[in-house]
């Protein structure tokens, strides 16, 4: 099976996925990792193929928090999840599948 593993530009999110990727490879699957360009050396050091995120999604936490300082005021849990979905994940998803 061909599997895409995608992660935001954060080692804390990426590293566990790389461990899962190694298990999947041992079971005969093909893995491709998509994450921010800052994570490329980590992906390649794990022996996995890398593709970058879209440029507008290729931001780390410092850039995201600078753009949305009000995010630091959200309550952890569903409120924070909703904020991130609205301001980061959904806008970038729509650019990928509905360019223009």
Mean pLDDT by 10 residues, the chain (100 residues): 91 94 97 95 96 85 88 91 86 56
Pick from 50, 45, 38: which is nearest to 11 by CA?
38
| Co-location of 48 and 91 in the same domain | no
| Co-location of 46 and 88 in the same domain | no
| Co-location of 9 and 40 in the same domain | yes
Q: What's the number of domains the chain is made of?
A: 2
Domain extent for 15: 1-53
Report residue 72 CA to chain centroid gap: 20
Contact (CB, 8 A) for 67 and 84: no
């Amino acid at each position: 099976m061909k599997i895409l593993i995608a992660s935001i530009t954060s080692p804390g999110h990426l590293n566990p996925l790389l461990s899962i990727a190694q298990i999947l490879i041992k079971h005969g699957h093909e893995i491709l990792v998509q994450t921010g360009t800052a994570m490329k050396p980590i992906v390649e050091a794990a022996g996995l193929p890398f593709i970058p995120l879209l440029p507008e999604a290729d931001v780390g936490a410092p850039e995201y928090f600078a753009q949305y300082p009000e995010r630091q005021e959200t309550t952890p849990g569903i409120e924070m999840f909703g904020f991130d979905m609205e301001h980061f994940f959904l806008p970038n998803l729509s650019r990928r599948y509905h360019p223009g």
